């Protein structure tokens, strides 16, 4: 073989190899493309499922929150029902009562039971008379001259009771402060 013939053979071999490589290259992108499309559809499916699950969770929590708000005071009302019964019995017995002392005793017992019921639910009165004035829990209605030097800046009288519910002030105590 001469050099020209070997060059022709080599060129033909290169052309054959190039053609094969192009076929392989043409097949590889198709397979790769198909693989990417499968991954894309799988990821899209996962995304849609996750989105649906989250949307259902969000709707469920909104419903649960609405139900909770509707019935949030149920336990308090249940604890007050026996007190309403006691008051109704007291009113009925007062219609024919001649002894004021027993009526007062009955009312005092109902008052005590009512306060205990509220205390169990976390309601506490704010201590006032004799305490130093505290703007976080007290509301000064009037400042008057203190009867003694040690009562300056302290609460002299309570006009309206203040309350905390589980440590949070829900009504400030209205007080008279010595100055």
Domain ranges of the chain: 1-71, 73-121, 124-179
Q: Give Cα 82 to chain centroid, integer Å.
A: 30
pLDDT in tens, 115-170: 898 888 888 999 989 889 999 999 999 988 888 888 888 889 999 999 999 989 99
Nearest alpha carbon to residue 115 among 87, 80, 160, 88: 80
Question: What tokens does 165 get?
Answer: 């519910």
Tell me the C-alpha distance between 112 and 124, whole Å.
13
| CATH number belonging to domain 124-179 | 2.30.22.10
pLDDT in tens, 42-88: 999 999 999 999 999 999 999 999 888 887 778 788 888 888 888 88
Q: Name the pairing type of β-strands 163-165 and 123-125.
A: antiparallel
pTM attached to this predicted model: 0.56
Sign of the C-alpha dihedral computed for residues 146, 132, 130 and 117 taken in this order: positive
In which residue are the tokens 């004021």 written? 100
Strand runs labelled E in the chain: 123-125, 138-144, 155-160, 163-165, 168-171, 173-178
Q: CA–CA distance from 133 to each of 36, 142, 143, 148, 175 (Å)? A: 73, 12, 11, 16, 9
Confidence of residue 5 (pLDDT cuts 50, 70, 90): low
Tell me the C-alpha distance between 178 and 170, whole Å.
24
């Amino acid at each position: 073989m001469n050099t020209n013939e070997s060059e022709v053979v080599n060129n033909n071999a290169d052309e054959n190899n190039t053609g094969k490589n192009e076929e392989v290259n043409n097949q590889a992108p198709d397979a790769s493309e198909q693989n990417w499309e499968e991954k894309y559809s799988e990821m899209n499916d996962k995304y849609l499922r996750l989105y649906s699950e989250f949307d259902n969770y969000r709707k469920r929590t909104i419903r649960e929150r609405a139900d909770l708000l509707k019935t949030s005071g149920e336990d308090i009302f249940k604890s007050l029902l026996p007190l309403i019964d006691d008051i109704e019995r007291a009113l009925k017995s007062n219609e024919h009562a001649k002894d004021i002392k027993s009526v007062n005793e009955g009312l005092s017992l109902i008052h005590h039971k009512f306060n205990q019921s509220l205390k169990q639910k976390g309601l506490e009165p704010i201590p006032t008379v004799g305490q130093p004035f505290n703007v976080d829990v007290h509301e000064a209605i009037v400042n008057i001259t203190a009867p003694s030097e040690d009562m300056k800046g302290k609460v002299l009288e309570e006009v309206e009771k203040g309350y905390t519910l589980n440590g949070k002030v829900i009504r400030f105590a209205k007080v008279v402060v010595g100055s």
